[in-house]
Amino acid sequence: MPRAGKVCTGTRGVRCTEVVPAGTRCPACTRRAEEQRGSARARGYDHRHETRFRRAVLELHPICQLCGRDVAVHADHHPVDRRTLVLRGEDPNDPRHGRGLCASCHSAETAKAQPGGWNRR
């Protein structure tokens, strides 16, 4: 008798041992794969734009805009954050909305802007 099924193809990062009809996934993996596809698409889209924004900002600001001393490695949205720009209908990937920061200034700024931090308005 031919085998009716084979082991589930699994999900990225997950090895599955469920036996399912060939070429299909078990329900749990199907759900996980769908979630991964969704988030990967969102990430991929953002990532391309993020890269363009970052490169342009770092070209404009090769030196950290805060300390003026270290090489800028982070493109930060400033003074308006990305979400606000999107809400205003502006292009959040326009390098005019960014500034270059070095690693230590960037982490200091990120800590300050954390929701629930003292800087919350």
Q: Is 16 in the site for Zn ion (CB under 5 A)?
A: yes
Cα 109 to the chain's mean position, in Å?
Answer: 18
Applying CB under 5 A, among 53, 66, 74, 75 the residue interacting with Zn ion is: 66
Q: Is 75 in the site for Zn ion (CB under 5 A)?
A: no
Which x/- pattern over 87-116 shows residues binding Zn ion (rule: CB under 5 A)?
A: ---------------x--x-----------
Q: Is 72 in the site for Zn ion (CB under 5 A)?
A: no
Q: Is 29 in the site for Zn ion (CB under 5 A)?
A: yes
| Half-sphere exposure (Cβ direction) of 11: Cα atoms closer than 13 Å | 13
Residues contacting Zn ion: total by CB under 5 A: 11
* Rounded-to-integer distance, Cα 54 and Cα 1, Å: 59
* Rounded-to-integer distance, Cα 96 and Cα 4, Å: 60
* CB 60, min distance to Zn ion, A: 15
* CB 1, min distance to Zn ion, A: 23
Q: Using the minimum distance from each CB to Zn ion, give the nearer residue, 84 or 107.
A: 107
Enumerate binding residues for Zn ion (CB under 5 A). 8, 16, 18, 26, 29, 64, 66-67, 70, 102, 105
